Structure 1
Amino acid sequence: MSRPELSLSLQFADPRHRALLPRHKVQRYIRAALELPGEIAVRIVNAEEGRSLNREYRGKDYATNVLTFDYSHEPVVGADLVLCAEVVEKEAGDMGVPLLDHYAHLLVHGTLHAQGYDHEADDEAECMEARETEILAGLGIADPYRKR
């Protein structure tokens, strides 16, 4: 099955994981979750920038793993995904999963958000988690929601 076209901007404000996240891998993870063509910017940031963005746009004064700024859902998905390198690295360590797998999960998660998926209500969370698990399995990545 062919995947939708993707125009990707990949930015490393925090360069610590640049070698781990080559463009072709980031494209692969996002394309796996895209249902329509996309124009997506991915920015890897430090905790200071992540905290500032989370505070400004969500009113939460801490750095979070991924922020999705979605601008359009169709005919082209337009979004910015901001991932905080320090938070992603800590979470991967705490969960005992490979760092690249956790990045893949968060890129899929953010891409689904960019297309209107949500996880605020329990039934929406179940649907979104099932979709993430299915996409990640197709990428050869273990279910991130399975209890370890």
Structure 2
Amino acid sequence: MKNASSRSAEMIGGESYIKLVKAYFSYLDMEYGFMRLAEKIQGNAFYGIEYTDGQKIVSVSYENITDYFTVIFFLLKEGERPNYDDKEKTLHLDKLNVKVFSVADNDEIQLNTKYFSKFKATSETEKKLLKAAKELRLCLKYFDKLTI
């Protein structure tokens, strides 16, 4: 998910980012059995958190200064992370969304939206993060059915 629009004045701190990811993406461990693999805070420039289920890694990262946010699936091969440039094993959420929304029914989309109604994102960064959490949860429901 890229934000090419003008940079908003707010920047989020690393600890705040990690806390939000843990809250918004809490379904990863509760519903899908993912475990937190790594957390990374590099000054105020880059924040990332990764989860794994043993078959794939979900990376949720944010470059604060450039306002670049992305969610990536790395499909593991023999437990190893693929090269970032491997288009078959490195899947970006925005590309998967196109496939998911072609198979998800309206009721499932509404139930997913309802699940996230407990969160109140206020800043633009929080809104982007919450949107990605919604999209990822829906994507995981259909992940095994997708032709990747």
TM-score, normalisation: structure 1: 0.33
Greater helix fraction, Structure 1 or Structure 2: 1
Q: Work out which of the two has the higher radius of gyration on C-alpha atoms and give 1 or 2.
A: 2
